[in-house]
Chains A and B, each alone.
Chain A
Amino acid sequence: MTARLLALLAAPRTLPELARELGLEPGTVLALLRQLEARGYVGPAYQGSPACGVACGACSLKRLCPSAGTPTPPAPVWRLTDRGRAALGGRAVR
């Protein structure tokens, strides 16, 4: 389960995407992500990303979006950290 989650996070993903892929409830995935984040396996993807906040430029709904223009995307996006990548690299994905 965790290995599959880490494998999915090889590319940044949102919570609903992860829940859909894993066939779990979003709340369950969030609980698992909290555990993995606290131990440094995963982290938020937006930190230090120059792409964030730019995509809102052409969107006609940006005035209604609470996150428009900020470096934080509307929904948290998760990514693998170095530790997560190392842990994933050493094992087969179930």
Chain B
Amino acid sequence: MGCPRCSTPAVHPGRRLARIALLGNPNTGKTTLINALAGTRLQVGNWPGTTVEKLEARLGDLTLVDLPGTYSLFATTPEERLARDALLADPPDALLVVLDAGNLERNLPLALEATELGIPMAVVLNLFDEAREKGYDLDPARLEALLGVPVVATVASRGEGVDRLIEAVQTAPVPAPAVIYPPAIERALARVAGAIDAPAARAIAALLLAGEPVAAPETARKAAEAARKELAALGLDPFLEITGARYARARELFQQTLRGHNPRPTLTDRLDRFVLHPVLGPVLFLLGMLFVFRFTFLLSAPWVDFIGGVQEVLAGWTYGLGLPGLLASFLADGLVAGVGTVLAFAPVLFFLYLAMSFLEASGFLARSAFIADRLMHAAGLPGRAFIPLVLGFGCNVPAVYATRTLESFADRLRTALAIPFMACSARLPVFALFAAVFFRERAALVVFALYLLGLAVGLLTAWLLGRFGRLEPSTGVMELPPYRLPRARVLLLQAHARTMSFVKGATGPILLAMVLIWALLHLPPGPLEQSLYARVAGALAHLFAPLGLGDWRLVGALIPGFIAKEVVVGALGVSFLGAAPPDALGFLAGLGQLAAAFLAALQGTLAALLALFGLPSLPAAAGGPTALQAALRGAVTAKAALVYLVFVLLYTPCVATLFALRQELGRRWTTFSVGYQLTVAYLVALLAARILP
């Protein structure tokens, strides 16, 4: 198919394209479109050097690249800068500009900017069904004639119109610039563009003239600087002039494309009456959060147990090889345990990402943020920050990754540094152990108070960072996209890619940490009391003496707690009661255990699916005190136990959380986080030691 209404003939008729980029505002259905075009050949990865997701698909010789959603090449977010730089530094052979037909006026300025890139382009009027539902009667043929490029109306979720897209883009011309600026701006643009030898010279010149930080030849920069001064003398601000002209032209095009508008309430409007209701909304929001929480942890638990079972079998096989004791221990308790620690996070992350991707793509995430906005405002955070904070009560690792849904770096930073204070589920076994021994009938109250303390310290951290770090929060203006049913395959692909990204990156650091802890515990060979672990713990115990925690066994358990907080209980057990190596396993016996563990995981998943829709239940009451509980009761006072719990709650998070923080915030802020949390944990525990009776 050609473009009969295009005013400019195709520059390269019959050319072979290698790479087509999809450019569009957020929520225009680009991901669904690329999924409809590529079917099973979809690949999810990251843009080089970033954590921004990159979706690619191969169609024969063609590669389709989904650029991050952007409102303009005048970028305001890291994702928008990435899209702009990708277009300018490595221009694709053609562009598919994806517009939301139901928000055409808002989407058109980006299409107008794209006409200045000097790249063949076609326009997709996606979500055409939603536009009709909103009462818009649009004329794609008219828009095609006005823009001079092929325009195809599609409903990507149903595959409608998608078959025409590749042909349309293959015959697409390089469009003529669609916006004429005021004469003084046009003259300045011509002068700056003359110093740039690139098809996108006009687009780069506009960016330079508007003062945007963009790569360009020095001569062009100087020309732009001179032109800006001249325009300022005339009372003209190039950014305002250029932006204003684009929006004015977009309005004209929209009005000429619109055959009629008969507004009527959509399904989204009807649903929002309940979801955004001042009373019902918060209730639905809390139920939604509870569901995400339960979905993630109920469905992942059987597979975390399965990985634990595999770990046990591998350790048993290792001990069954007849290797020298220390080597067998290194392989089983160092290497196997290290890899197992990383893999144990994978099911949690996978199910969480699945839930988060669904919430985001369906439009519920934006509404949750809207509902929670008031609560978060107290800490100077946007409403969206509530979701990662709540997830932090389950596991800090995915919660840190969930901060990606926040727009500004300042918001991401403040939320991510608050998350480690949320009492994750791994800390619960430690709380439960001590609370059951020392606070019996008040155990639930003590544990609840610890959760509240973590939340309060986290929110205070976010507030302090905003106040003293001069980090301005985003204004909280949020867009509520229409409700949509996301494609299950895209959600699964995204969840898988994001989980694998963690596993690949985290294995090295976590393994290294595990091996270090193993060395502390096992070297020199002999009783635990003579190990490096005991010596380091003994030295640290002096530091903890002002907190009333002088017992090296208590202090030592905090060291492996750096790997994972639940290990604190195991380490206390080893220190107070001693430890025996796992039993050696034969090959067949191990296979039998693996099969049984796999079957148990499948059964557990089925049970979890059923439990998902049931009421949450409380854990069964514990029986009599265990040997460890009895040993703790004889060694620690109730006050020291509470101080210890406060420190466990607040001190440096596990190594996997630190890895997530490093990925999201960088090394500098992660180091700050470690120092800050240790200091806060020590000071709050010291305060508790002083004020508790």
A residues with CB within 8 A of B: 1-3, 6, 23-25, 27-28, 30-39, 41, 43-44, 64-67, 70, 72, 76, 87, 90-91, 94
B250 near A35: Cβ-Cβ < 8 Å: no
Query: Is B76 located at the chain interface by the 8 A CB criterion?
Result: yes
Size of the B side of the interface (Cβ < 8 Å), in residues, is 34
Supply 22 A–B pairs (Cβ within 8 Å), ascending by A: A2-B240, A2-B243, A2-B244, A2-B247, A24-B247, A24-B251, A28-B103, A28-B105, A28-B106, A28-B250, A31-B109, A32-B243, A34-B477, A35-B243, A43-B475, A44-B475, A64-B278, A65-B278, A76-B476, A76-B477, A90-B232, A90-B237
CA distance A1 to B112 in the complex (A): 16
A35–B72 alpha-carbon span in the complex (Å): 8
Q: Given A44-B475, A70-B374, are A28 and B247 also a contact pair (CB < 8 Å)?
A: yes
Residue contact A27 to B103, C-beta cutoff 8 Å: yes
The digit string for B253-296, where 1 denotes a CB below 8 A from any CB of A, is 00000000000000000000000001101000000000000000
- A43: chain B residues within 8 A (beta carbon): 475
Residues of chain B lying within 8 A (CB to CB) of residue A39: 239
Known: A35-B72, A66-B371. 8 other contacts (CB 8 A): A2-B244, A23-B251, A28-B251, A31-B71, A41-B240, A44-B477, A72-B374, A76-B477
Which residue of chain A is the closest to B277 with respect to CB atoms? A64
Identify the interface centre among A28, A33, A44, A90: most chain B CB within 10 Å of its CB. A28
Q: Are A25 and B103 in contact, CB atoms less than 8 angstroms apart?
A: yes
B106 touches A27 (CB 8 A): yes
> A34 to B278, Cβ gap below 8 A?
no
Q: How far is the CA of A72 from the CA of B376 in the complex (A)?
A: 12
- Whether B377 contacts A70 by the Cβ 8 Å rule is yes
Q: Could you tell me which residues of chain B, from 224 to 249, have a CB within 8 Å of some CB in chain A?
A: 232, 235-237, 239-241, 243-245, 247-248
**A3 pairs with B377, CB closer than 8 A:** no
B374 and A90 within 8 A (CB): no
Establish whether residues A64 and B279, one from each chain, have CB atoms under 8 Å apart when the complex forms.
yes
| A residues in contact with B237, CB < 8 Å | 87, 90-91
The answer for the CA separation of A2 and B477 in the assembled complex, in Å, is 19
B373 CB–A CB distance under 8 Å: yes
Cβ contact of A76, chosen from B240, B278, B475, cutoff 8 A: B475
Bound-complex Cα distance A44 to B476 (A): 10
Contact residues of B between 66 and 98, Cβ < 8 Å to A: 71-72, 74, 76
Q: Closest chain B residue to A83 by CB distance?
A: B237
Contacts of B76 in A (CB 8 A): 34-35, 38
Whole-angstrom distance between the Cβ of B106 and the nearest chain A Cβ: 4
Task: List the B residue with the shortest CB-CB distance to A43.
Answer: B475
Distance, CA A67 to CA B371, complexed state (A): 10
What residues of chain B lie closer than 8 Å to A32, measured between beta carbons?
243, 247
**Chain A residues near B373 (CB-CB < 8 A):** 66
Contact with A along B109-128 (1 / 0, CB 8 A): 10000000000000000000
Chain B contacts for A1, CB-based, 8 A: 243-245, 247-248, 251
Instruction: Return A12 CB to nearest CB of chain B, in Å.
Output: 13
Tell whether, in the assembled complex, residue A67 and residue B374 are in contact, meaning their CB atoms are under 8 Å apart.
Answer: yes
Given the interface contacts A1-B248, A64-B278, A66-B374, does A37 sit within 8 Å of B106 by beta carbon?
A: no
Assess whether B479 is in contact with A27, with CB atoms less than 8 Å apart. Answer: yes
Which of A34, A41, A44 is close to B71, meaning CB atoms less than 8 Å apart?
A: A34
* Mask of B344-381 contacts with A, CB within 8 angstroms, 1/0: 00000000000000000000000000010110010000
Which chain B residue has the least Cβ–Cβ distance from A94?
B244
Which of A23, A24, A33, A35 lies in contact with B477, CB distance below 8 A? Answer: A33
Residues of A within 8 A of B377 (CB): 70, 72
Contact A91 B235 (CB under 8 A): yes
Contacts of B239 in A (CB 8 A): 39
Residue of A nearest to B374 (CB): A66
CB neighbours (8 Å) of B251 from chain A are 1, 23-24, 28
Q: Which residues of chain B have C-beta atoms less than 8 A from A35's C-beta?
A: 71-72, 74, 76, 243
Contact of A31 with B106 at beta-carbon distance under 8 Å, contacts A41-B240, A66-B373, A67-B374 already known = yes
In angstroms, Cα B281 to Cα A64, docked, is: 11
Which A residues are CB-close (under 8 A) to B25?
A: 31
Contact indicator A66/B243 (Cβ below 8 Å): no
CB distance from A22 to the nearest CB of B (A): 9
Contacts of B476 in A (CB 8 A): 72, 76
- Give the top 9 A-B pairs by smallest Cβ distance, nearest first: A2-B244, A90-B235, A38-B76, A1-B244, A28-B106, A27-B106, A2-B240, A1-B248, A64-B278
